[in-house]
Amino acid sequence: MSITDHALVVEAAEAGASVVRSRYGSALTRVMKTAGDFATAADVEAEQAIIDVLRAARPGDAVVAEESGRTGAGDNGRTWLVDPLCGTLNFAARTMLASVNVALRVGSDVTVAASVDPFADEVFWTDGTAAYVRGAGTDGRLVPSAESALVDLNLDPPFPNRDVFLAARMLADESFLEQFRPRVVSTSLAVAWVAAGRRAAYVTDRHDLRNSVHFAAGIALCEAAGCVVTGLDGQPLHAGGDGLVVAADERTHAALLTLIRKQHSPSTRP
């Protein structure tokens, strides 16, 4: 019997996570990509492990991976998005904050996705209908919650919308600090944490995150779990809005949008 897409996305992401775990703490060759950004041998090896699993089961699908780019014809409209190690800087500094992300886009929709924490050995996954976390072989439903009031802000550049939004400005906003407690982990694992109820929200600037190898899996998880997911302007991501605001509930989402809109006017910037 052929493997289902949702089982395959978990298997592929776990294959990458196994490589990441095995390479943690070892001496790693670095490949510079841009100033301040690099890949390690662990990124490359984990990506190949993921692609090997996908190719064996779905040879006709296209793959877009962070390190190797696009491969495969993909004439069937199916494309796998692969981020083999999100949090490379953390990983290289021997900090156990990273994720392995795999998602399948069919047409314009992400239908299945998985985000693995290789060190907690947790798999956050969705079949496109509901979202789950797998630990010790058991699946539990993801339930968002804003109770913690913890909000992760991505402070990594680039900042394409800095004229109207900058996460660093939000950190200096007293009204933000009155409502929330900021966190910075520098990995898209934090997006999955919103779906799991471990974060109240996540905010980042960027372009076209629905098609990003870094964020597609986390966005799909949050949407399936029932989070509120929009761009920085509050519009649905499919409408072409930039950035990402993921919140556990409508109240948290509305509060964050109010804070973001305050930055639109220079006179209100802290």
The binding site for Mg(2+) comprises 66, 83, 85
What SS3 class is residue 259?
A: helix
Sequence ranges of the binding site: 66, 83, 85
CA distance 17 to 32: 22
Q: How many CB atoms are closer than 10 A to CB 178?
A: 7
Contacts of 182 (CB under 8 A, 6+ apart): 150, 151, 152, 153, 170, 171, 176
The single-letter code of the amino acid at 73 is A
Question: Of 96, 101, 119, nearest to 222 (Cα)?
Answer: 101
What is the β-pairing status of strands 150-153 and 181-183?
Answer: parallel
CA distance 222 to 243: 15
The answer to whether residues 229 and 223 touch, using CB atoms and an 8 Å cutoff, is yes
Contacts of 183 (CB under 8 A, 6+ apart): 150, 151, 152, 153, 190, 199
What SS3 class is residue 84?
A: strand
**C-alpha to C-alpha distances, 33 to 11, 36, 37, 79, nearest whole angstrom:** 28, 8, 6, 24
Q: Cα-flanking dihedrals φ and ψ of residue 34, to 5°?
A: -140, 175
